[in-house]
Amino acid sequence: MNRLVIILLILSVLSATDRFQGELPIGLTEEEKTRIHEIYSMGRDTDPPPLPIRNVAEYERMDGVLIRYPFGISTALVAEMSEDVMIYCLVSSTQQNSALNSMSNGGVNMDNVEFVVGSTDSYWTRDYGPWWVVDGNRNMSIVDFTYNRPRPNDNQAPYKMSIHLNVPYFATDLVHAGGNYMTDGLGISASTDLVLDENEIPDAQVLQIMEDYYGIETYHVVPDPNNTYIDHIDCWGKYLSPTKVL
């Protein structure tokens, strides 16, 4: 029976009105900088998906958005999105009632909300959320990476989503971040050279992993022209279609 393919549009907003005090920033805290080594023990490593593999582009048709409670965006924005798409909300079991009350009181369409229960460390779902591929069995599958922050609960989010959605899960222990990755959906992707700096393996091996796990035959790895912030490619570029770049 045919059904709508579920793909998550990973959403984060750099400024918001409902931001909670004490939340972790998008970058590393001074304390986290002393625990960088922990990142390299957080990864999973499975066999690659069956061939052929097509990495799904962000501009393709999406079924929902992935957010986290406590929010890093306004409840008004969540309410607006819930009129059109499914809201997948990561939330700890102890805060689920608070999330429900916050959304209900904020006018969110609760018929379009699904809670994914599990602890998180931050609300930067754009950076730690799942990446999607269509694998050789024509399954919509998650191919995970290791989040480039020593935040183990955030790093578990793609696996939690695979369980919640009952979709195949694959993983490589490549250290990466969603904000530093974009793909055209046709085997071409781009990142800043942060991906090479953060992985303690030869550059050629990084390229091979991208091909084996994501079907990326051309991977443009470029210097960050800003070189003043977090070196994520989405700070200055985005594929809008296979022939358009913003």
Using one digit for the tens of pLDDT, what is the confidence trace for 52-100?
A: 999 999 999 988 999 999 999 999 999 999 999 999 999 999 999 999 9
Query: Between helices 75-82 and 96-105, what is the axis angle to 10°?
Result: 80
Question: 186, 196, 183: which is closest to 224 by C-alpha?
Answer: 196
Tokens of 179: 């904000």
- pLDDT tens digits for 148-207? 999 999 999 999 999 999 999 999 999 999 999 999 999 999 999 999 999 999 999 999
| CATH tag for 8-20+27-176 (out of 3.30.420.10, 2.60.40.420, 1.10.287.3510, 3.75.10.10) | 3.75.10.10
Question: How far is 119 from 204, CA to CA, in rounded Å?
Answer: 35
- pLDDT tens digits for 24-60? 999 999 999 999 999 999 999 999 999 999 999 999 9
- Do residues 178 and 122 touch, judged by C-beta distance below 8 A? no
Eight-class DSSP state of 51: S
Statement: residue 16 has pLDDT above 50: no
Which pLDDT band, with edges at 50, 70 and 90, does 9 fall under?
Answer: very low
Question: How far is 85 from 44, CA to CA, in rounded Å?
Answer: 30
Which pLDDT band, with edges at 50, 70 and 90, does 217 fall under?
Answer: very high
- Do residues 87 and 67 touch, judged by C-beta distance below 8 A? yes
Long-range pairs, 14-18, Cβ under 8 A, ≥24: 16/71, 16/72, 16/73, 16/74, 16/77, 17/74, 18/70, 18/71, 18/72, 18/73, 18/74, 18/75
What pLDDT score does 176 carry? Answer: 99
Which pLDDT band, with edges at 50, 70 and 90, does 21 fall under?
Answer: low
Amino acid letter, 123: Y
Question: 223, 45, 243: which is closest to 144 by C-alpha?
Answer: 45
Question: How far is 89 from 94, CA to CA, in rounded Å?
Answer: 14
Number of residues assigned to the chain: 246
Tokens of 88: 């997948």
